[in-house]
Structures are given as C-alpha cells and as structure tokens.
Amino acid sequence: MERIELAQGLAFSRLVYGMWRLADDSDTSVKHVDAKINAALDQGITTFDQADIYGGYTAEAVMGTALKANPSLRQHMEIVSKCDIVIDAGRHSGARVKHYNTMAAHINASVDASLAEMGIDEIDVLLIHRPDPLMDHHETGAVLDALVDAGKIRAVGVSNFRPWDWNLLQSAMRHPLVTNQIELSLKHIAPFTNGDLAFHQQHDHLVMAWS
C-alpha cells in the first residue's frame, strides 16, 4: 500500500478505513472489531478515521474495546479523530439544537474523551469536523497548538473547510494544518470546479476524501 507523508515522521496509508458506521454493526464484540482492524492491516490499510460524533458518540468506544484488549495493535495504526459537532446524543444528551463548538474547553474535553474511549495516549491527527461560523480563531488555534505541544495529538487538520476557513484558522496557529478532509467522489465533484482543490494544490496541502 502506498504511503502518503503528511508531516515529518507521520504518514498515512493511501486508503483509509472510515469508521463512521462501526457502531451500527449488529456485532460490535471485541472479537469482531479486532477482526475488522486486522483485516485492514493485512491489506496495508493502517490509517483509521474516527470522530467523536460517530455512532452517536459510541464508535470510538467500540474501537477502543479492541485496542484495550490488544494494545499491540496501536503501534501498527494511525488514528484520525474529529470534534466540534454537538448533537443530542451520548455525552451531549440534552443538547437542544445541533451546533458546532470550537471553544477551547469543548475541544479539550473532546480530545480527553476520545483518548479515554479508545484507550490511547495520542491521536495522530485531530480534525476540526466542520467550520464553525462563530469560531474565535485565536482561541481555537491556541488550544490546538497547546494540544500538539502537550503530546495529546501529533498534528492538526480540518474537515469540510473552504479555503477562507483554512486560512483563518491557520493564521492563528504556530503548527501547520496538515490536511483538509472534504467530500469528494464520482457523485460529488464540486471540489474540482469550485476552487477547493486548486487552492490546496497551489499551496501543496494534502487532501483527504470522504464520500
């Protein structure tokens, strides 16, 4: 499997195992989840894409059952996770309306919860899941830099950001954004014509595709 270098010492497999539906499987036993992870690893797929919101805030814990039962798996994996979407489910049960939260306290709490749920010490890349129209980019950038400095995350990226969203957040950070995960497929080709891919190509940014 081809490897893609995002930063010094950090590379992803070209294909990534997206875990959005992991908790929806009728079998979420440790044995079954472990088998899924190992099947991917056997094919050279070493990068696993998570998010706090997946499975109504349960998918990270489902994955964590396998990682806690077999800690040696972690050394063969790169783990991506995301935060900032708040819905009425799981740990955010009672939220009155879906919204985005990029405040420092929320990001810190989300990262700590993700680490605990998955039973890991560090997230390889943390993505801000959606642009927050109310984001204080100075506050958000500062907490993301601090999380890298603290060793809780290795690198920072974003998801579903337009070029101006990327530039705004990057302007308030010391550490570079390493990727933007955008919707891109045969059924969604807008990034080819709306300037998104051109922007990232112009600046030598790496893009992840979801569909």
Active-site amino acid positions: 54
Strands (E), the chain: 3-7, 10-13, 16-18, 47-49, 78-83, 85-86, 99-100, 123-128, 153-159, 177-183, 206-210
Tell me the C-alpha distance between 142 and 210, whole Å. 27
Give the closest residue to 100 by CA, choosing from 127, 80, 118.
Answer: 127
Tell me the C-alpha distance between 129 and 107, whole Å. 11
Distances in whole angstroms, Cα of residue 96 to Cα of each of 52, 93, 124: 18, 9, 32
Token representation of residue 210: 């979801």
The answer to whether the Cα torsion of 84, 85, 91, 97 is positive or negative is: positive
Three-state DSSP at 152 gives: coil
Tell me the C-alpha distance between 97 and 117, whole Å. 24
